[in-house]
Amino acid sequence: MLNNVRKLIPLLSIMIILVLSSCSNTKRYVHRKSKKTRVERTTATKYRTNKKRGRRETVATLSSKRYSIVQTAKKYLGKPYNYGGKKPNSGFDCSGFTSYVYAENGIQVKGASYHQAKLGVKKSMKDLKEGDLVFFGSKRKVSHVGIVAEADKGNIAVIHSTSSRGVVIDDITNSDYWRKKYLFGRDVIR
């Protein structure tokens, strides 16, 4: 009976991994007998061979900080725009929204959009990940900020507080308006 249970454990592990791997940005945990090792990754579940033990180890996935930031931001969809607004009950301006969402996730991002544009590490559009900040403007002058809600195969969707519609999600890759105004992204999560 014990041997049958031992045979089922890898199968159950694989099933759990498949269920959890639906998140696109994840952290992985390598499970060993008495130890857990966390490693940042952006792809789904994998297997790897432990050379010392000569066997395959399964790698389980859990939600990352990026996922948490996007989920927090989505809670405020539909909140109205308010110039200088930094709280949900009064509404948000663009930088107030990003500051509030990041603060709820333990990351301090303060100031206007042009101040936030100096934080973290600069990224091109093709390198953006969920949770990164994206900046818009003209002639290199930053005038708007949002959070990447989805980055999939070159398509970027941003959640942001717009002056005309409040907190919304826009596909900036297929929008003539936002694509023309896009300047760069910043990773402040690292």
Active site residues: 94, 144, 160
Q: How many other CB atoms are there within 10 angstroms of residue 183's CB atom?
A: 19
Q: Is 42 left (phi over 0), alpha (psi -120 to 50) or beta?
A: alpha
Residue 20 CA to residue 28 CA, distance in Å, equals 10
Residue 30 CA to residue 38 CA, distance in Å, equals 7
- What stretches of 29-188 show up as alpha helix (H) in DSSP? 65-74, 94-104, 113-116, 176-181
Nearest to 95 by CA among 50, 39, 133: 133
